[in-house]
Every structure is written in structure tokens, then in C-alpha cells.
Amino acid sequence: MASANGRAQVAVAIGAGDGIGAAFARCFARAGYRVVIARRDAEKSSALVAELAAEGHEMHAVSLDARDEAQVVGFFDRIEAEMGEIEVALYNAGSNSPFPFLETKATMFRKIWELACFGGFLAMREAAARMVPRGRGTILVTGASASMRGKAGFGAFASAKHGLRALAQSLAREVGPRGVHVAHVVIDAGVDMPAIHERRRKKFGDDHVDEENILVKPDSIAATFLAVHGQSPDAWTHELDLRPYGENW
């Protein structure tokens, strides 16, 4: 897939672990994009890079601290200079580990906010700065149940995800009229991946609820990202929620 200047279109994801981020990489690579994912330790994605290379797709993994402004700016600059115009940018970073409100230290609160909210601000700003002059592009933001409601034990995470949602809304209203699509996708369920399975086993035992109707699959999330990116400007979605039919809501 080529951009207006003939170079390959690029899709990037920041906060790309082995679940949603890896599914994003597979989905967009197979759709014809050059894919770059960023995570704290890029070496953890080496098997995914090899997997897609074996299929004939180009994918790169980069080590990045999403909370560091200089690193984020440099990440976008390097991709645009060396690989091509960024058509799709996903911000997917965040940590939803529970902490009782009265036991949450200021340092932990700040760390959760920096990753889930401030990092999103940096990524969205840098993506928009490059897309707006071209009058096109899609910025995707991964939301969560905590984006919509606070929950006991998740005060820090919920405040950060609420903030990220507000940032996405504000940016959408600014850059939508200038041709850039901003979409906030709420994942209102657990994600079907090993870490979540283990967490559920600890909570419910080995006979925990069947994941087929209680956990959302990363590939399904990635397919939604691709579909949203492909929407016509006369029918853009800013926010949508994804959940299995077995999830209470």
C-alpha cells in the first residue's frame, strides 16, 4: 500500500505488547502496511518480527519509553524520514494493576498517569503534527472499562484513562475538520491472552468462566482498528465499545 508520494504507507503502535499490539501488527502488515511497534523492550517482539518476515511482510520493533518526550518525538521523526508517511498511529500503553485508594503512593499514581495519559498526549500530538499538513491519517486510542467509570481499587488507572479519553475527544474536534480521524476504542472486557487467563485462574480457580464468551480476542480488536481506519469521512466513528456477549455491562 503506497501513500501519495509513492512510498509505502506506515502503521505504528506505541505500547505494543504480545496481545493487542501484536494483533495490530499482524493485521496491518497483512493489509499491506509497513508496521513499526514500540514497547519498553523491543527484543520481546523478535519472534513476531520473524513470523511476519517469513510471510513476506515488513515489521520493525523499537524500544521506547512512551513517557519520554524526546524519545517519542525522535520515534516519529525517524519513521517519517526513513520509512514513509505514517497513516495510522495507535496508542495502546497503560497498566491497570489495582491499588487500594488509601494505599496508592503519589509516585505510583504519577507513574500510572504518565503511562496511560501523558504518553498518549505525546503520541497523539506527534502523530497529528505530521498528519494534519497532509490532510489525512488515523489516530487510534485504546480505551478501557476504566475510561467510562471508576472502580474500587482502580482510582489511579481510571483517572488516567478518563484523561486519555478527554484528550482523544479534544483532538478529534480539533483535527477532524482538517482530515485526521481520531477514534477512541473502549475495550470493555478482559483480553484473551495468557496473563489474563492466569489472573482469572487465581481469582476463580481452574474452572473459571469459559473465555469464549467473557474475553475479547486481540485479533478481533485489531480487525476493528482496521475497519475504523477504513471508514469514509462522512461516517467516521469517534468512540465505540467492544465486549463479548458474556461480559456484564
The closest of 122, 114, 138 to 74, measured between CA atoms, is 122
The residue whose grid cell reads 497532509 is 134
- Residue 197's pLDDT is 60
- Residue 95's pLDDT is 80
Domain 10-242 top-level CATH class:
alpha beta
d(CA 216, CA 189): 6
pLDDT digits (tens, 9 = 90+) for 57-113: 999 999 999 999 999 999 999 999 999 999 999 999 988 778 899 999 999 999 999
The 239-242 sheet, strands edge to edge: 59-63, 34-39, 10-14, 86-91, 138-144, 181-187, 239-242
Give CB contacts under 8 A, 24+ apart, made by 43-52.
Answer: 44/17, 44/18, 45/16, 45/18, 48/18, 48/22, 51/26, 52/25, 52/26
Q: What is the DSSP letter of 122?
A: H
- Residue 97's pLDDT is 78
For residue 247, the Cα-to-chain-centroid distance in whole angstroms is 21
- Residue 228's pLDDT is 98
Domain extents in the chain: 10-242
Which residues in the chain land under pLDDT 70?
Answer: 1-7, 193-212
